Amino acid sequence: MIGSYSVNINDLEKIAVKSIISATKSKEIIVLDEIGKMEIFSFRFMDAVIKALDSLKVVIRDIHRENSGFFREIKERKDVELIEIRVDNRDEIADRLKETLISKIEILKNKM
């Protein structure tokens, strides 16, 4: 349980893990929305996220602010760029993400 929420590990692994693995194999851009406290109850989920990050794909994710364990492991990777979204910068984030994404796609194209 996380607060008043329960974690359905079976559904998380059946849907999210399967989707991440599939995207890692077949897509150039992978979007992971909300890597939070509930998701880290699944070792299979965490493993799928690490494999996606280890791939040559562009991975965009929303990650919990906590800075310990699995969250720290992701945030400390050299291939991860963190962009903190706050009230005072949230309107400009879309343009910044677009520019970053275009840049990463160009890098990927040049590697192929």
Give residue 52's Cα distance to chain centre: 8
Q: How far apart are CA 85 and CA 61, in angstroms?
A: 12
Tokens of 19: 């989707």
Question: Both tokens of residue 35?
Answer: 């890597």
**26-37 pLDDT, tens digit each:** 988 888 887 888
Domain ranges of the chain: 9-82
Residues whose CB falls within 8 Å of the CB of residue 27, separated by 6 or more in sequence, listed in order: 57
93-106 confidence digits (pLDDT tens): 888 888 888 887 88
